[in-house]
Copies of this chain bind each other. A is one copy, B any other.
Amino acid sequence: MPRLVEIYAPATTANLGPGFDILGMALEEPFDTICAEKTDSPGVIIDGITGDEGRLSLDPAKNTAGISAAYALKQLGITDQGIRMTIHKGLPLASGLGSSAASAAGGAVAVNALFGDPLRRPQLLDAALEGEAAVSGRHADNVAPALLGGIIFVGGLTPELLEPLPVPLGLVLALVTPNVAVPTAEARAVLPQQIPMRDMVKQTASVARLISALYRNDIEALGKAVEADGIIEPARQHLMPGLHEVRAAARERGAFGTTISGAGPTLCAICDSESIARRVTDGMELVYARLGLACQTRVTRPASQGCRVKIIE
């Protein structure tokens, strides 16, 4: 049985436009790295966190990775041993890339790996949700793909309601994260409580188009579908500086569509090659330069796996 493991916990982009709260995709980059070691004392210790600019708590009861690790230990019935972690946040916080979910998934996967992998990934959903709930509310559209990889349809909060969807071959994502804060709570607060029937029907049509595009391996149709969100994006767009300019610039450079990643402010453009995605991120940078906003861009792909485990010892 391993004594020391490293977990690479992926970023995830939730919603994909109209799939609000029901779709999420794991990304190859960026990712958090959790170095985790078995201890002979019970419970969870967080030794250190880097890459968070001091914003996250070392108290395991207040840290998503700590909470999910503790839950997983309890789930496995382990009371005489524990886990000691150091966390490197490769994911920017509160940026719409599933930072809390990555750490929550990573904490649960770390415990499972250190104690002989008794649980399959979907069985770690509860533990990961427990960590996620402490920060972002109890929803699985980030933790499910962070655990399982690929694109996951989240039909609910139990493992049997998670459904992997096909990932279009050659899909590349151009991401841009402008330097503005969009707290998830605020991004949720601006959403309408009631939706006109007509808009609801349109939203179901957009979701149908999106799911069909995934099965048909049609990246262009996927790009169109992610933009066909008539409910969430209109309510949130004022919180996303540059959204429409970025979308226009991305389209001009060959992207098929651009949407808000999770609750934002990261924007995610759908591309079908790395060279196009690089051109798109160049265009995104120009937009934010004009707006006088710092930003970080990334070109990445869907991750076929969720959290990866490397056994060190």
Chain A interface (Cβ < 8 Å from any Cβ of B) = 18-23, 153-156, 163, 165, 191-197, 200-201, 203-205, 207-209, 211-212, 215, 231
Contact A205–B22 (Cβ < 8 Å): yes
Q: Using A165-B212, A195-B195, A209-B163 as known contacts, say yes or no to A201 and B153 having CB atoms under 8 A apart.
A: no
> Contact check: which of B153, B165, B195, B205 meets A197 at CB < 8 Å?
B195
Contact B20–A201 (Cβ < 8 Å): yes
Contact A209–B153 (Cβ < 8 Å): yes
Note all chain B residues with C-beta closer than 8 A to A191.
197
Contact A212–B209 (Cβ < 8 Å): no
Note all chain B residues with C-beta closer than 8 A to A207.
204, 207-208, 211
Residue of B nearest to A22 (CB): B205
Cα distance, A201 to B140, chains bound together (Å): 13
Cα distance, A197 to B156, chains bound together (Å): 15
6 contacts between A and B (CB under 8 A): A19-B204, A22-B201, A22-B205, A153-B205, A153-B209, A207-B207
Note all chain B residues with C-beta closer than 8 A to A204.
18-20, 22, 203-204, 207
Note all chain B residues with C-beta closer than 8 A to A165.
212
Residue of B nearest to A23 (CB): B208
Known: A194-B196, A207-B207. 18 other contacts (CB 8 A): A22-B204, A153-B208, A153-B212, A154-B205, A155-B209, A156-B205, A163-B209, A165-B212, A193-B196, A193-B197, A194-B194, A195-B197, A200-B203, A200-B231, A204-B204, A207-B208, A211-B211, A215-B215
Residue of B nearest to A166 (CB): B215
